[in-house]
Amino acid sequence: MERATFFSPQAGKTVDAPQRAQARFGIGDVVRHRVFDFRGVVFDIDPVFANSEEWYESIPKEVRPHREQPFYHLLAENGDSSYVAYVSQQNLLADGDGGPVDHPSLDELFEDFRNGRYRLRRSMTH
């Protein structure tokens, strides 16, 4: 399998990843966590784990996800607050039918919510 590298600001280092990753979700998709009670909008995707070792080690070993899968950056919400989450693909389910997400940063990145997903602002595309 061909490999590529990318710089991860969260990890503060260059990360090795497969050249082609199989992401199940895309930017603007609404997802929910498989175990914990929160949902969010995907705003970035890492092809493999690309956060800090401290973050990874803080997850209990028996539920720690493997590194060689996509990880998603989410504008997340639960019943109490809004925040940014970093979640492995194995822990996410589609939730576009659940309606829009209430997060204060949504308007900075996305336009409207239509057909179960958000559309990225034109100013954010390349």
DSSP letter for 53, please: H
> What is the residue-level pLDDT of the chain in tens, covering all 126 positions?
566 666 666 666 676 656 566 899 999 999 999 999 999 999 999 999 999 999 999 999 998 999 989 999 999 999 999 999 999 999 999 998 889 999 999 999 999 999 999 999 987 665
Predicted pLDDT of residue 113: 94
What residue ranges do the domains of the chain occupy? 3-124
pTM of the full predicted structure? 0.83
**With contact defined as beta carbons under 8 Å apart, do 5 and 16 qualify?**
yes
Predicted pLDDT of residue 19: 59
Superfamily holding 3-124: Hemimethylated DNA-binding domain (2.30.30.390)
